A and B are shown apart, each in its own frame.
Chain A
Amino acid sequence: MKRMVLAALALVGVFVALYLTLYKLGMIGVLACGTGGCERVNTSQWAQFLGMPVSVWGLAFYLVTFIVAFVGTTPRQADNVGLSKLLTAMCGVGVLFSAWLTYLELFVIGAICRYCVVSAVIVTVMFVVSLMDWRTRRDERASAS
């Protein structure tokens, strides 16, 4: 059940990241109105990470997490605690990355992008759910054996 929630949240994340990626691709122009908001954040130097737009990394992250969580919902994987650990680790990395981006937005760029906030909230909730999932599976396994 918790993995279903994870998969659903990851799918929402896929669309948020997809939207930002399309925006980024469409907005690559020479002239810019240096705004407060998405334009400013999304055209800043920090919108690139390892040579790729941050939104593309986000898209890849949500897609992979969605696939892992979806596989995890199948009955065959129900007892796979390792999968829960993997999901927790992935979401943990996502939370750290989002925290860093939010720090940049607030204290370095000085502008907030709504969609980035939405993404940060999603990944945080996903992390909490993945932790709960991990604990449940671990406890179940302990009581079963």
Chain B
Amino acid sequence: MAKNNAQRTAASGPSSRRPFYLILAAIAVLGIVAIVYEKKTSTHRTPEEMNAEYEALKQKYANAGPPQPYVRGKADAPVVIEEFADYECPSCGNFATVTEPDVRARIVDAGLAQYKYYDFPLPMHGNSRQASLAAACADEQGKFWEMHDQLFASQDRWGLSPSEAQVTDNPTPVFQSLAKAIGLDMTKWQQCYDSKKYEARVMANMSEALRRNIDQTPTFFVNGVKIAGAVPYDQLKQAVDNAAKQGPMSAADSALGNIISHH
């Protein structure tokens, strides 16, 4: 026993512990550097700055008037699907690229429902409001949905990286290339985008989201019935079928819905 101890003491004396300490120190330094780096790159602006910016905009557009969603499908369709989404939100991107093509082909274009898209840029997504402006300026040229699809499909180029860090502070070059790709009049689009021509529209749509107490994107309303999250096609179709069975929303219902949503 004593011999064993003596051997071990010799083998693990102070000198043989040096590599161990070095490795621990290396891990500590790497860990701290990684966290600091991650903090730096994840948000170029601090959350406080982003929130302040957001609050200021909310103030400025407190009376932006009624929301002006982007509409697709027949006006006399028995059901209305409303979507509140953020261009930079990964789950909105999932919905737009995976589920929405089916929703369009089999529900909206089939005449079962009308579709309304409302901007709901979240404060922690630094480029989302810009994306909403880019889409509004495409709408001016009748190509809202094309731009909407392009923006969601290219989130990784201007929005969040897979580790949910902002990939760029300046998304404009990417938006320009998207606008070009869908064949917009670039001079007109650029002017509209630079002047933030539709900021009031975007903020009015966002105010509507806040009025309805939405705390997650995407959130849907099917004839006023709330469905939160990037739900699969079947769930949305089910909601549309249910709504259709109950008949069109009566004036009284929608008035009630308005009262409720304003509280």
- Residues of A at the B interface (CB closer than 8 Å) are 4, 7-8, 11-12, 14-15, 18-19, 22, 26, 29-40, 73, 75, 78-79, 114, 140, 144-145
Give Cα A35–Cα B34 distance, bound, in whole angstroms: 24
- Whether the pair A35, B90 counts as a contact (CB closer than 8 A) is yes
Are the CB atoms of A36 and B27 closer together than 8 Å? no
Tell me if B123 and A8 are in contact (CB < 8 A). no
Q: Write out the residue numbers on chain B whose beta carbons fall within 8 Å of the beta carbon of A114.
A: 163
Whether A8 and B90, one on each chain, are in contact in the complex, defined by CB atoms closer than 8 angstroms, is no
Q: Which residues of A contact B169 (CB under 8 A)?
A: none
Secondary structure at the A interface, as helix, strand, loop or mixed, is: helix
Q: Is the CB of B215 within 8 A of A11?
A: no
User: Are A38 and B164 in contact, with the CB atoms below 8 A?
Assistant: yes
A12:B27 contact, CB within 8 angstroms: yes
The yes or no answer to B122 lying at the interface (CB within 8 A) is yes
Chain B hits for A39, CB < 8 A: 90, 164
**Partner among B9, B35, B122 whose Cβ is within 8 Å of the Cβ of A31:** B122
Contacts of A40 in B (CB 8 A): 91
**Contact between A37 and B216, CB atoms less than 8 A apart:** no
A15-B31, A73-B17, A144-B4 as given contacts; A33 in contact with B217, CB under 8 Å: yes
Interface residue ranges, B against A (CB under 8 Å): 1, 4-5, 8-9, 12-13, 17, 20, 23-24, 27-28, 30-32, 34-35, 38-39, 47, 86, 88-92, 94, 122-125, 162-164, 215-217, 228-230
Closest Cβ of chain A to B53, distance in Å, is: 14
Check A4 against B217 for contact (C-beta < 8 Å).
no
Q: Which residue of A lies closest to B216 (CB)?
A: A34
B28 and chain A: residue at smallest CB distance: A11
Nearest-neighbor residue (CB-CB) of A1 within chain B: B12
Q: Is the CB of A19 within 8 A of B91?
A: no
Count A/B pairs, Cβ under 8 Å. 94
Check if A35 sits within 8 Å of B89, measured CB to CB. Answer: yes
Min Cβ gap B11→A in Å is: 9
A40 to B230, CA, bound (A): 12
In the complex, which of the residues A18, A38, A145 contacts B1, with contact meaning CB atoms closer than 8 Å? Answer: A145
**From B23, which residue of chain A is reached at the shortest CB distance?**
A8
CB B4 to nearest CB in A, in angstroms, measures 5
CB distance from A58 to the nearest CB of B (A): 14
Among A18, A22, A38, A78, contact of B12 (Cβ-Cβ < 8 Å): A78
In the assembled complex, which residues on chain A have CB atoms less than 8 Å from the CB atom of B9? 75, 78
Nearest residue (CB) in A for B35 is: A19
- The answer on a CB contact under 8 Å between B91 and A35 is yes
A18 and B124 contact, Cβ closer than 8 Å, known pairs A33-B216, A37-B90, A38-B164: no
Q: Report chain A residues within 8 Å CB of B5.
A: 78-79
Are B20 and A73 in contact (CB-based, < 8 A)?
A: yes
Cβ of B124 and Cβ of A34 under 8 Å apart? Answer: no
In the bound complex, CA of A79 to CA of B38 (Å):
41
Closest residue of A by beta carbon distance from B214: A31
Q: How far is the CB of A73 from chain B (nearest CB, A)?
A: 7
Q: Are A22 and B92 in contact (CB under 8 A)?
A: no
Residues of B within 8 A of A26 (CB): 47
Given contacts A4-B20, A31-B123, A36-B91, A11 and B31 within 8 Å (CB-CB): yes
Residue ID in chain B nearest A73 by CB atoms: B20
Q: Beyond the given A33-B122, A35-B89, please list 10 additional residue pairs across the A-B interface where CB-CB is below 8 A.
A: A4-B23, A15-B27, A19-B34, A19-B38, A22-B35, A31-B122, A38-B164, A75-B8, A78-B12, A140-B4
